Amino acid sequence: MTTKKQTRTIKTIKIDVDKCNGCRACEVICSSFHAMPKYSSNNPARSRIRVIHEPLRDVYVPVYAGDYAVAECAGRDKYIIDGKEYDECAFCRAACPSREEFKEPDSGLPLKCDMCEGEDEPLCVKWCLVDALTIEEREEEVDEAEEEQEAVEVGLESLVNRFGIDKVADLVAHLARNKG
């Protein structure tokens, strides 16, 4: 099967830990932007960026929500910063079954940074006044169909994990009937 490739400008957010002062403005604006309705509330538990703090050495590390992991991972990494050892999961970007980070507090559904879809610039970057977060752009070839399929699979899988396959299958059948 031939797959359709397209060149896209990929934006990534560069984190400069040395500049982060732990103000948490990024958490506030992200959770507020993703509230329903938009900007109606802010709750850092709903944020797609979390700032990890180590009080003894006053280190702040912003971590972005990445892909959903269906199972707890077998191999984990240990981080040592300035001689202090951090929890193995502390800087992980995944929402996974073994911890509460990066899960929507009401539904438990996984959260993932969507780069503030629809906005000109990611809001956490805009609100970070000390430039600990900055945008970097690069050109990359991407497979559009594969990307779409992956996004659908992740969404469905998390719904199945939460509500069970039968409920999700019934709902899909119901939606298909209504659209057909």
In this structure, the number of other CB atoms found within 10 A of the CB of residue 54 comes to 14
Cβ-count burial 73-107 (b if 16+ within 10 Å, e if not): eeeeeeeeeeeeebeeebebbbbbeeeebbbeeee
Among 94, 103, 133, 158, indicate the residue that binds ligand SF4 (CB under 6 A): 133
Minimum Å distance from CB 25 to ligand SF4?
4
**Bridge partner list, 63:** 50
Q: How many CA atoms lie within 13 A of 98 on its CB side?
A: 12
Closest CA to 154 of 111, 116, 118, 120: 111
Question: Binding to ligand SF4 (CB under 6 A): which residues in 18-77?
Answer: 20-26, 29-30, 33, 48-49, 51, 60, 62, 64
Between 106 and 170, whose beta carbon lies closer to ligand SF4?
Answer: 106
Are the C-beta atoms of 59 and 91 separated by less than 8 Å? no
Q: Is 116 in the site for ligand SF4 (CB under 6 A)?
A: yes
Between 113 and 168, whose beta carbon lies closer to ligand SF4?
Answer: 113
Q: Tokens for 45?
A: 């538990």
Q: Is 91 in the site for ligand SF4 (CB under 6 A)?
A: no
Between 54 and 114, whose beta carbon lies closer to ligand SF4?
Answer: 114
Minimum Å distance from CB 12 to ligand SF4?
10
Using CB under 6 A as the criterion, which residues of the chain lie in contact with ligand SF4 when the complex forms?
Answer: 20-26, 29-30, 33, 48-49, 51, 60, 62, 64, 113-116, 122-124, 127-128, 130, 132-133
